[in-house]
Amino acid sequence: MVGKADIYNTKTIFNRWKVKYVERLHPKDREDITKFIRELQARGYTPTRMLKYLSYLRSAYKHLKKPFRELSLMNMEQLSD
């Protein structure tokens, strides 16, 4: 069986975006996000789904302006408002 063709070049976009995103993170979070990406890849997630997750994380990081390890429950509740 032949895999689906990547007509939107999603793998390349994901790899490029992953590098840019991880470089801009707080040093404490780089290792955690890299592990998260590896775990998603090991579970067989598509590049499109991983891009979506990274997009959510990037939005949260920009909004809260704190490393993920330093977030409290109150900080997380701010995102849902």
> For the segment 3-18, what is each residue's pLDDT rounded down to a tens digit?
677 777 888 888 888 8
Q: Which helix (H) or strand (E) holds 5?
A: none
Please write the tens of the pLDDT for every residue from 17-73.
888 888 888 888 889 999 999 999 999 999 889 989 988 888 888 888 888 888 888
Residue 19 within a domain: no
The answer to whether residue 14 is domain-embedded is no
Assess if residue 61 is contained within a domain.
Answer: yes
| pLDDT of res. 49 | 92
For the chain, what is the domain count? 1
Residue 39 is predicted with a pLDDT of: 96
Instruction: Identify whether 11 is part of a domain.
Output: no
47 lies in some domain: yes
- Tokens 């993170």 correspond to 25
Domain-located, residue 1: no
CB count, 10 Å around CB of 33? 20
Q: Tokens representing 49?
A: 């789904």
What is the rounded (10 degree) CA torsion for 7, 47, 19, 36?
A: 180
Residue-number span of the structural domain to which 43 is assigned: 27-80
pLDDT at res. 38: 94
